[in-house]
Structure 1
Amino acid sequence: MGWRFRKSIRIAKGVRLNLSKRGVGLSVGGKGFRVGIGPRGAYTSTSIPGTGLYSINYFGKNKSRDFPKAEQNFSSQPKIEGYNLNMPPELATSSIYTALGCLWFLISVIFLFIWWPIGILGIIIQIAWAAKSANSPTGKAKNHFLQGKIALQKGEWQKALEEFLKVLEVNPKINSLYREIAFLYRRLDNPEEAAKYFEKYLTSYPDDAVIKLNYASILGITKQYHKAIEILQSLPPEMKQELVVINTLASAFLGLNKPELALEVLEKGPVRSRKTMDEQMKLFRYLLGITYKELGENNKAIKQFYKIYVEDTEYEDVKALLKELDPSFGG
């Protein structure tokens, strides 16, 4: 069993200095209720004197996130709905200052009942500090970020983009925000700008495989096929086996008019028909059909297009392709 250490030193009436293996803390209050700050942050402690029963609640713990993390399921097309909108680490106030601010306010409230002039002075200082922080560059950047987050919740994509760009105007070094800006540009059908911001993001976070896949997809849309292939080939080996990666890579080779290389990639795809054909499977069969058509293997192409047509008669230009390749097709 490991040894533990804890010692409480009274330094003034109702004020204790708490020492433990984790660090140093300070608490204020009396029997039944105390507020304090320690290695784990600001907290309140409530107890029933004489019973040994007590409860400790830390500020800011177990708060749910407003948005889910970006989806990392590579068996489906990369999605842009999974915005990661926790406060960027470059803007997040140090936890110790946040905890100290909470403790300062709580102590000021307590002093309103003990010696009200000190309590009022403490609250005035807190308000002045908060106002100064709000008008600082960091405070302004935080405000633009929060406005952008609200706009996203409302589905106001252009407004969200404008607010996030204002964050970068105030502080250009908030590299983690490049990701959300890239997703918004893609949402707003501006793939060139999306590609630029994905690239900026990856300069700071080069190991983010999810963003690499999104970046390669955008490069394909902007016909930067060689660069897209380079990015896709740098993905982890296990990820390269996912259907979405196979489809994206095959599309890039077809864009370069190299159907033989596209076929080599597509042959690594599913060897058995799936019971249900999702969007990625439809795309896989469509690309396989196009590849066979480019290689002059029309019968194989027709077979793939028919499999799609049975599931979705309006998929891409499958109907037109079947009319072109199969004289007996009556669709």
Structure 2
Amino acid sequence: MGFRFFRRIKLAPGVHVNFSKSGASLSLGSRGGKITFGPRGTRITTGIPGTGLYHTTVLPKRRASEEKKVLAAFSPPSSAASAPTLGFFQRLFTPPQEIAFVEGMRELVLGREEKALAKLQESLSLPDGALTAGLVALRLKGAKEALPYLERALQLQEGIGKTFAKYGIHPNFTLLFPYGIALTAPADQKGLLLALAQVYEDLGKVAEALTFLEHLANNQPQDELARLCLVHALMHGTPGEEAYRRVLQLTAFLPNETPVHTLLLLYRARALKGLGLLEAAKETLTQALRRKKDRPSELMKALRYERALLYEDMGNPRQARKELEKIYAEDPAYADVAARLGLS
């Protein structure tokens, strides 16, 4: 019989560190839905507490060079009370599109996403049906297939949330950013704009994505998720001077209190570098590297790698090599570190 070991330590409400034979992992969330970062990758788990029903999605590991933001999971109702159902007599007086919506949401709870999408396609006259269909399609099939559903939801956006509220549903979705940063957004009007921006980014229509994200950032300037999405979109692809300046505006006077702040500081440093302000970029990276607690290791390696490249640009190969050696000691396969050190 094999030896097994597992221990969980609570750091804060909804935040746990798990220890097992395979290593340590970090879990965020409650019983109904959580995301776990560990040595074997990232797992999204959703279910109905007390029923034994749950669904787990394992996300493949991404290479350091992959900087895309993706919709990692759509979380259906997370408690038995919020999972919609219709009795026999209720069905007699419920419109067909609403019946399809309820059945689609139940299929999501059971983890049968393909069947859920098929049912939700019958409820597109409902704003929440169109939004949910778009989110599920985006995760299952991609941006091109999701776009018509989300555009339909945009046309009906004033009614978003009404059907959810009628059945006591509070769904959300998870956006996975580069370097292990995951944030949750509610499936509401804000979530619709974020999802549409994601779709347009995936389709290479960055200008359209920026339109939605600028609208959100201007109307909710303190919203960390909206700001991060906007900064990520601005830095995606081949940004220019205008994009760099906008990123500096969005990240001005930024503290380094959360992993989101740290990622924003990385983007700020890249914007400063893009404008030729190398010393300021170096100071920003140094600020970001001062806080290591609760920061994903991939994010810390990205910061060190960025600072190594910066040292090279500043004519300081000795410091650059020092940074690269630290990365290599932790992860010999990271990016082109081995080649830069002459070890490949």
TM-score (norm 1): 0.53
Q: Specify every segment of 5 or more residues in structure 1 that has no aligned partner in the other structure, as ranges.
A: 1-61, 69-76, 88-101, 110-122, 323-328
Q: Give the equivalent residue in structure 1 for 2:287.
A: 268
User: 1:193 corresponds to which letter in structure 2?
Assistant: E
User: 1:212 corresponds to which letter in structure 2?
Assistant: R
Q: Give the equivalent residue in structure 1 for 2:103.
A: none
**Is the CA contact (8 Å cut-off) linking 1:144 and 1:164 kept in structure 2?**
yes
Task: Identify which of 157, 161, 165 aligns with 2:147.
Answer: 161
Q: Give the equivalent residue in structure 2 for 1:139.
A: 125
User: 1:139 corresponds to which letter in structure 2?
Assistant: S
Deviates more, 1:299-308 or 1:168-177: 168-177
Distance, in Å, in 1 between the alignment partners of 2:54 and 2:207 is 30
Is 1:198 paired with 2:213?
A: yes
1:32-43 mapped onto 2 (5 Å cutoff) = none
**Is the CA contact (8 Å cut-off) linking 2:312 and 2:320 kept in structure 1?**
yes
Higher relative contact order (CA 8 A, sep 6+): 2
Q: Give the equivalent residue in structure 1 for 2:230.
A: 215
Distance, in Å, in 1 between the alignment partners of 2:135 and 2:56 is 10
**Is the CA contact (8 Å cut-off) linking 1:213 and 1:232 kept in structure 2?**
no
Q: Give the equivalent residue in structure 2 for 1:279.
A: 298
RMSD of aligned alpha carbons: 4.6
User: 1:178 corresponds to which letter in structure 2?
Assistant: L
User: 2:193 corresponds to which letter in structure 1?
Assistant: Y
Q: Give the equivalent residue in structure 1 for 2:13.
A: none
TM-score (norm 2): 0.51
1:310/1:165 CA distance change after superposition, 3 Å:
same
**Is the CA contact (8 Å cut-off) linking 2:131 and 2:150 kept in structure 1?**
yes
Task: Identify which of 229, 240, 249 aligns with 1:230.
Answer: 249
Q: Give the equivalent residue in structure 2 for 1:302.
A: 321
**Is the CA contact (8 Å cut-off) linking 1:309 and 1:318 kept in structure 2?**
yes
Distance, in Å, in 2 between the alignment partners of 1:211 and 1:273 is 24
1:236-275 mapped onto 2 (5 Å cutoff) = 238-239=257-258, 242-271=261-290
User: 1:244 corresponds to which letter in structure 2?
Assistant: L
**Is the CA contact (8 Å cut-off) linking 2:308 and 2:321 kept in structure 1?**
yes
Q: Percent identity?
A: 24
Q: Give the equivalent residue in structure 1 for 2:196.
A: 181
CA displacement 1:208-227 (0-9 Å, x = unmatched): 11221221122122331110
1:179/1:254 CA distance change after superposition, 3 Å:
same
User: 1:261 corresponds to which letter in structure 2?
Assistant: A
Task: Identify which of 65, 71, 78 aligns with 1:81.
Answer: 71
Secondary structure of 1:81's partner? strand
Could you say which structure has the larger radius of gyration?
Answer: 1
Q: Specify every segment of 5 or more residues in structure 2 that has no aligned partner in the other structure, as ranges.
A: 1-49, 58-66, 78-85, 101-122, 161-188
Distance, in Å, in 2 between the alignment partners of 1:273 and 1:205 is 28
1:240, distance to aligned residue in structure 2 (A): 8.5
1:7-156 mapped onto 2 (5 Å cutoff) = 80-81=70-71, 126=93, 139-152=125-138, 154-156=140-142
User: 2:224 corresponds to which letter in structure 1?
Assistant: A
